[in-house]
Structure 1
């Protein structure tokens, strides 16, 4: 599937401010992967918050029920 850079920009605009650092780090790893032989990603082993646990359960339920959003549908929302 080909994804336009404009679609990436739209998704980045939807990122919550508290998650901006995580998204930045992930994008940086992808960009730098061609310039380094070994990529080191630090694990976040901190305990999940109640909200994160609730979100994870909802996501697992959505996957089990095939209640997912198609990329083309998401593009129309941005």
Structure 2
């Protein structure tokens, strides 16, 4: 099992949101330390630690790292 730290925030110009994986490790103490550093660095953002089992179809779990993207994100944009 590894842990990942996910960071989510709204872009400064409010045109969208970003969800990114900032850190991954199999060492829980390192993850905890890095999480505390990131919370201090990004106090307005949503940060979360996910446990991620290896060799597992993550969508079979009750909760796993995921992002919702509306269908409009996949439509061609007119310029």
Verify same fold: TM over 0.5.
Answer: no
Structure having the larger proportion of residues in helix: 1
TM-score normalised per structure 1: 0.30
Structure having the larger proportion of residues in strand: 2
TM-score normalised per structure 2: 0.30
